[in-house]
Amino acid sequence: MALGLAPGAHGSNRTGRPFTGDGSGDFLFPVLHETGFASQPHAVSRNDGMVLTDLWISAVVRCAPPANKPTPEEQRNCAPWLDEEIGLLKNLRVVVCLGKIAFDGLLAHAMRSGMMAARTGSTFRHGAEYTLMNGLRVIASYHPSLQNTNTGKLTRPMFVAIFKRARELANSL
């Protein structure tokens, strides 16, 4: 699973598919294609022929938030949907959290569902890996936002390494 923060107002909120039609997706999908998770490097609409393999993309918040930053209240309101969605993914082995908000949302889910007793020691940093009590592996990554990619905070080689590691972990479990 690749877990983002929320639908982009000009991306998935418009196109109906996460990370499709926005700058973050323009950075994400070529990496997913290179690492074998996506059938093509570009995503422009729900009907563009894109097929994801061994990957589900979602977000901790279900609506496009003002200023692209979900409030704590929005995150709490959407938590039941995230819990339900993760519960339905019976073969889920690895979650790549795209940004700190996604990371915090996944850890909150883990605490609500009993997969984690306390958050102590689980700090967001790019490339950090954690294993939850049920064996689910978590990898933290900077979000592929234009703010991160245009400034070099997140580079393509850094992002490719995250998804190669996710593939490696998924295949080893």
Give, for all 173 residues of the chain, the pLDDT tens digit: 999 988 766 665 566 688 988 889 999 999 999 999 999 999 988 889 999 999 999 999 988 777 778 888 889 999 999 999 999 999 999 999 999 999 999 999 999 999 988 888 899 999 999 999 999 999 999 999 999 999 999 999 999 999 999 999 999 97
Residue-range domain boundaries for the chain = 2-172
Question: ∠ at Cα 104 (100, 110), nearest 5°?
Answer: 145
Homologous superfamily (CATH) of 2-172 is: Uracil-DNA glycosylase-like domain (3.40.470.10)
